[in-house]
Amino acid sequence: MEIVERHKVKAQDPEVRSHNFDEVSLGFDDETALLEAQRCINCKNPQCVQGCPVNINIPGFIAKLKEKDKDGALSIINESSLLPAICGRVCPQERQCEERCIRKLKLGGSVAIGALERYVGDYGLTKGTKDIVKPQKNGKRVAVVGSGPSGLACAADCAKAGFDVTIFEAFHKAGGVLTYGIPEFRLPKDKVVKKEIEKLNALGVTFKLNTIVGKTITFDELEEEFDAIFIGSGAGLPMFMNIPGENLNGVSSANEFLTRSNLMGAYKEDAITPIYCGKKVAVIGAGNVAMDAARTAKRIGGGEVYIIYRRSREEMPARAEEIEHAEEEGIKLVLLTNPVEMLGDKQVTALKCVKMALGEPDASGRRRPEPIEGSEFEIEVDQVIVALGTSPNPIIRNSVGNMFEFSKKGTIVVNEETNMTTHEGIYAGGDAVTGAATVILAMGAGRKAAKAIIEKLSK
């Protein structure tokens, strides 16, 4: 078989983009998308589909692209995914569908499935809401708690089935992490996220913003008013290191930093909400959240930014593209290094770290990092951003009493088939159930719960 190299996705020049918030990746144009689609050999047993968490018919949509039938490609993707313009941008494809693509090892690299999905998703967005017909209401009502990908997906499917859906969102803007977490330069809000939300408006979904379920309105009140409830409240509570000095000025969680920047628009010059950004910034962690925080700090502060990670590059959990883009933008990776103390009087001035070596694999299967005795050293910093992961916010757990079950980690316990909690009629999905995970898994969980809700309420 002919070796045809994978086509590269164009991106903004690193020197230019590290000073702006415009989208970094420019996506495929028509010609490149067609050439890339032609690389897919339409395998008889397509492993890429097995690698996709929602089993998108990948060779099917790519075959439509080869025929220049974008509508056909879109409708095939929409059978499994409601958010292709978003997932095409943020899914870790290199560990999912593209990892399994037969072309990966010897045939010029895996097909750029994610970039093709984005291409089709962006085409879908250009169609706007003109083809959406508001479904006839069937008289039953569904409440959705949280407007992240799980809530949006559940709401969309329930609304299409004729249910009267209301989404309750704590923040003043809808979208969950898509709006408050992932920065503009990776996921544009007006061009992409808002347009997905407009589709829900067109389906007749009502959004009640600034409403914290468990505080502003109780679950008992929701149960009285609605026939089913879906909880997609995410995992927005940041974890800290619990080391000395973590309460110094200049230290914050990545969640707070990114929320101020994205949701409150603090990165804009005319922003009313301020954001502190130092000239020497250490970001602790190496997942997508850490990359987003580091690249945001680089854009706002313009100084030196370090990613501090206790394992090696191989174990970094962030998407490969984000790590590559961060390095191109001048972010320095300080690997096999663990902070042990944050130093300073009132303001943080340095991070005391210890060098690490990798030992035997731990429960996660990754080699356990162990401190090297006597290897302590200091890094001068004026800001530290902690990006070590998140867990579900306890507001819901504290407000429902024994209404339904939670795990020891604070996640909601659900039936795997239906995503129903231990309380009849209340469903849950996304990060609130799995702990911090991915957009595609959250979307898939929202759809699974919607299917169960529709089946139950249609009886």
Q: Which is nearer to ligand FAD, 58 or 436 (CB)?
A: 436
Please choose which of ligand SF4, ligand FAD, none residue 116 contacts, taking the beta carbon within 5 to 8 angstroms, the exact cut-off set by kind: none
Q: Which is nearer to ligand SF4, 93 or 261 (CB)?
A: 93
CA distances (Å), 376 to each of 90, 226, 304, 308, in order? Answer: 36, 58, 21, 14
Judged by CB under 6 A, the chain residues 202 through 221 that form the site for ligand FAD are 212-214
Judged by CB under 6 A, the chain residues 406 through 435 that form the site for ligand FAD are 430-432
Please choose which of ligand SF4, ligand FAD, none residue 18 contacts, taking the beta carbon within 5 to 8 angstroms, the exact cut-off set by kind: none
Q: Rounded to a whole number, what is the distance in angstroms from the first to the last CA of the chain?
A: 53
Q: Is 317 one of the binding residues for ligand FAD (CB under 6 A)?
A: no
Q: Compute the distance between CA of residue 456 and CA of residue 459 in angstroms, rounded to an integer.
A: 6
CA distances (Å), 254 to each of 237, 350, 389, in order? Answer: 11, 18, 9
Closest CA to 43 of 92, 8, 1: 1
Q: Compute the distance between CA of residue 438 and CA of residue 123 in angstroms, rounded to an integer.
A: 23
Please choose which of ligand FAD, ligand SF4, none residue 163 contacts, taking the beta carbon within 5 to 8 angstroms, the exact cut-off set by kind: none
75 contacts 120 by C-beta, under 8 angstroms: no
Q: Is 236 one of the binding residues for ligand FAD (CB under 6 A)?
A: yes
Please choose which of ligand FAD, ligand SF4, none residue 176 contacts, taking the beta carbon within 5 to 8 angstroms, the exact cut-off set by kind: ligand FAD
Out of 84, 148, 301, 344, the residue judged to bind ligand FAD by CB under 6 A: 148
User: Residue 189 carries which DSSP code?
Assistant: I
Please choose which of ligand FAD, ligand SF4, none residue 101 contacts, taking the beta carbon within 5 to 8 angstroms, the exact cut-off set by kind: ligand SF4
| Nearest distance, CB of residue 448 and ligand FAD, angstroms | 13
CA distances (Å), 155 to each of 135, 158, 232, 447, 455, in order? Answer: 13, 5, 10, 9, 15
Read off the tokens for 172. 């003043």
Q: Which is nearer to ligand FAD, 36 or 169 (CB)?
A: 169
3-state class (DSSP) for residue 36? helix
Please choose which of ligand SF4, ligand FAD, none residue 187 contacts, taking the beta carbon within 5 to 8 angstroms, the exact cut-off set by kind: none
Q: Is 177 one of the binding residues for ligand FAD (CB under 6 A)?
A: yes
Please choose which of ligand SF4, ligand FAD, none residue 333 contacts, taking the beta carbon within 5 to 8 angstroms, the exact cut-off set by kind: none
The count of residues interacting with ligand FAD (CB under 6 A) is 41
Please choose which of ligand FAD, ligand SF4, none residue 47 contacts, taking the beta carbon within 5 to 8 angstroms, the exact cut-off set by kind: ligand SF4
| Nearest distance, CB of residue 423 and ligand SF4, angstroms | 41
Q: Compute the distance between CA of residue 212 and CA of residue 231 in angstroms, rounded to an integer.
A: 12
Out of 123, 163, 171, 309, the residue judged to bind ligand FAD by CB under 6 A: 171
Q: How far is CA 9 from the centre of its chain?
A: 21
37 contacts 65 by C-beta, under 8 angstroms: yes
Among the listed ranges 4-12, 348-356, 364-372, 390-398, the one in contact with ligand FAD (CB under 6 A) is: 390-398
Whole-number CA gyration radius for the chain: 23
Closest CA to 30 of 68, 59, 77: 68
> Strand 237-238 relative to strand 390-391: parallel, antiparallel, unpaired?
antiparallel
| Nearest distance, CB of residue 111 and ligand SF4, angstroms | 4
Please give the residue ranges that form the binding site for ligand FAD (CB under 6 A).
90-91, 145-151, 168-171, 176-177, 181-182, 212-214, 232-234, 236, 258, 288-289, 292, 319, 393, 395-396, 430-432, 436-440, 442
